[in-house]
Amino acid sequence: MSHDSTTSTCEENTTARTIARRTAYTLAAGAAVGAAGQADAEVQYSGVQDLSIAQYGAQDLNLDGDAFNDILLKNYVFGGNYQGATVNGYPGKLVISNGSFPYYVSALEKGDLIDGTVVGPTFYGALGYAANPGSEFDSSTDAFIGLSFPIGGNAPEFIHYGWIRVDIDNSAGTFVIRDWAYNPVPNRGILAGDKVPEPGTLGLLAAGAAGVASMRRRRKAV
């Protein structure tokens, strides 16, 4: 075999290996970005907000960013410090710990399921109320409120599920909304604490995909 033939064969092998590596990288990056996109479609996360509600005040939250507020969170004072929640849109409901009035919202833990089997029976309830035995948020850190709320209509097929993470100290009268998330797929449950991949991870995946595209452009330009 001539020197030119050997050189040509080596170049072809090198090119083939390069193409194979780039193809594998493209598939891996595409799959990763696709998976991230799918996760993003399933759970919409607010990011850490740390919104403080002053005593005698209240805070509306719009979980999905449309024209309607979805839940009102209250930090009132009457007969003692009181923190409560009301889902604004019918037929939305809260995850409640008891079956009759007065209603108390369940303090959920990370990983607890929120879906049609656990919400209700009502759309309002107390979180913390002057150390009342029925209150589950009197002294809570990283506790979750579970809820259902409508998007786009009031029929059952428009119901979505979400969570809100809060810190409450009833005796001190403090109420902090840490963050929240919801599932944009109607009637699909969500686990308390579920959220999309961290932005840094998505950024790295996007950068990898951009690198693949850049390599392709350079390859065509040669």
User: 26 and 98: one domain?
Assistant: no
Evaluate whether 149 touches 184 at the Cβ level (below 8 Å). Answer: no
pLDDT, greater one: 8 or 90: 90
User: 10 and 51: one domain?
Assistant: no
DSSP string, 94-142: EBBSSSSSSPBB--B-TT-EESTTT-BS-SEEEEEETT-TT-S-TEEEE
User: 105 and 121: one domain?
Assistant: yes
Residues 6+ apart with CB under 8 A from 134: 97, 98, 102, 104, 126
User: 186 and 215: one domain?
Assistant: no
- pTM score over 0.75: no
User: 107 and 131: one domain?
Assistant: yes
Chain segment 112-153, per-residue pLDDT in tens: 999 999 999 999 999 999 989 999 999 999 999 999 999 999
Among the residue ranges 85-94, 196-205, 209-218, the one predicted with the least confidence is: 209-218
Please count the residues of the chain: 222
Distances (CA, A) of 112 to 20, 64, 201: 44, 21, 25
38: domain range? 3-42+200-221
User: 89 and 19: one domain?
Assistant: no
Mean pLDDT across 160-165: 98
Distances (CA, A) of 16 to 13, 20, 22, 217: 5, 6, 10, 18
| pLDDT at position 199 | 52
User: 74 and 105: one domain?
Assistant: yes
Evaluate whether 146 touches 118 at the Cβ level (below 8 Å). Answer: yes
- What is the C-alpha radius of gyration for the chain, rounded to an integer number of angstroms? 25
User: 32 and 67: one domain?
Assistant: no
User: 163 and 215: one domain?
Assistant: no
Provide the domain count of the chain: 2
H-assigned helices in the chain: 3-42, 199-221
Evaluate whether 208 touches 29 at the Cβ level (below 8 Å). Answer: yes
User: 208 and 104: one domain?
Assistant: no
User: 52 and 119: one domain?
Assistant: yes
| pLDDT at position 41 | 57
User: 32 and 94: one domain?
Assistant: no
